[in-house]
Amino acid sequence: MAACTAEALTLPLDTAKVRLQLQKEGNKYRGLLGTMKTIAAEEGPKALWKGLEPGLHRQCLFGGLRIGMYEPVRNLYVGKDHKGEPPLHLKIAAGLTTGALAICIASPTDLVKVRMQSEGRLPPGTPKKYPSAISAYRIIAKEEGVLGLWKGLGPNIARNAIINAAELASYDQIKQSLLATGVFKDNIVTHLVAGLGAGFFAVCIGSPVDVVKSRVMGDRVGRFNGVLDCFVKTAREEGIFAFYKGFIPNFGRLGSWNVACFLTLEQVKKLVTPKDH
């Protein structure tokens, strides 16, 4: 519920981020708001939510698994005899583990989402290849084989394991540190600050693999021969800063996504957790 709510609220930012990352030349898309304005003007406001269907599929699988498994895995790594708060390195290890496991299952939904979001870059009048998410799964499996649905799995595992660890471990740590001061209480303000901090760390650490993931998954003409080839070609042709292309919209997306997700998650947990727990 928390992941799907955050996805629906922030998908326009993600669409803008993907378009900026896939833009190799020219200045059609400029900045977060400028990109959203251009997309809305040329393709209609609904285009900003293109990919919502596979996005929700993704969050039901990936979001549910990575967030739901985080605390059990963290507690498993800590051990039953541990007392006090879990150490940071074990929080990071738990985040890496759940992020990698979850995306191995949910990677096809990520591929379809990127393909549908990138279709708006086609010349005017060109028919859309993927009319819906369900059709996209079928078309990709038919044309590229069933394993084609897991195209880009390598960078996707790297990206999502790293970002998941950065998000969940940093949120956990920031929230713990804020509460330890005695100034902050376990309320919306604390969740908001911790969520923004989690988004910032996730973007700083995960932006390079995020760019490569978007490019490998959006590559339908065979320009890149794998992850390493994409890294090399991007660095050689566009420079090292290309890996931080779309940094501001990426932070806008992940920062707002984390705030929406963790605010919703904390409120839902309070509703479903017994008061004497």
Condensed to tens digits (0 to 9), the pLDDT of residues 161-216 reads 988 999 999 999 999 999 999 999 999 999 999 999 998 988 888 788 778 877 88
Q: How confident is the model at residue 121, as a pLDDT? A: 61
Q: Could you tell me how far CA 227 lies from the centroid of its own chain?
A: 18
| Cα 214 to Cα 15, 140, 220, 245, distances in angstroms | 11, 17, 12, 11
What separation, in Å, do the N-terminal and C-terminal C-alpha atoms of the chain show? 21
Phi-psi map region of 152: left, alpha, beta (phi>0 left; psi -120 to 50 alpha) = left
In this prediction the pTM is: 0.74
- Residue 16 has a CB neighbour count (10 Å cut-off) of 28
Higher pLDDT, 46 or 17: 46
> Which of 115-129, 168-182, 227-241, 257-271 has the highest mean predicted lDDT (pLDDT)?
168-182
- Residue 228 has a CB neighbour count (10 Å cut-off) of 12
Sorting pLDDT into bands at 50, 70 and 90, what band is 247? confident
Q: What is the pLDDT of residues 91-131, one digit of tens each?
A: 999 999 999 999 999 999 888 888 887 776 666 667 778 88
- Residue 275: is its pLDDT beyond 70? no
